[in-house]
Amino acid sequence: MTKKDPVDELREELMAHPDLERFFTDKVGMSLKQYMAGYIIDNTEVEELVDELDLEHTRCCSECGSPMYEGYCIENGAEYYCSDECLHKHLTEEEYNALYDDGRGDSYWTSWLD
Ligand SMILES: [Zn+2]
């Protein structure tokens, strides 16, 4: 019979320990949720997060991939742009104004915050 790795035993004991999360927060200086969110932000494309988690307040800029809570919604969300700079890489002012159509179109600047 092969012996169990002591590090595996340590890991199991830690995972079952009631004070693991408090110890983690003291050690790392942030809550487990803050740490998880930071890890996810550093290692995941914004577009994947928005799609997979069905986020309410965040969209992903179709040009630069940055997260945005306000910006251009083009043709009912076919595309989103975070800034004039990103918008104008795809649409001229005239093309956007034609889509905007004085507020009657389905392309406009908006905020997804309440
Ligand atoms: Zn952008």
Question: At 6, phi and psi to the nearest 5?
Answer: -55, -30
Q: What does the pLDDT read at residue 2? A: 84
Q: What's the CA-to-centroid distance between 89 and ligand 1, angstroms?
A: 10
For residue 97, give the nearest of 80, 72, 60, 76 by alpha carbon.
72
Q: What is the pLDDT of residue 83?
A: 98
- What's the 27 CA to ligand 1 centre distance in angstroms? 36
Rg value, the chain, Cα: 22
Question: Helix, strand or coil for residue 111?
Answer: strand
Give the pLDDT confidence score for residue 44 in this predicted structure. 97
Count CB-CB contacts under 10 A for residue 80: 21
SS3 62: coil
Find the 93 Cα to ligand 1 centroid distance in Å: 16
Contact 57, 113 (CB under 8 A): yes
Q: Is the pTM of this model over 0.85?
A: no
10-residue mean pLDDT profile of the chain (114 residues): values are 92 97 97 97 96 96 98 97 98 97 96 91
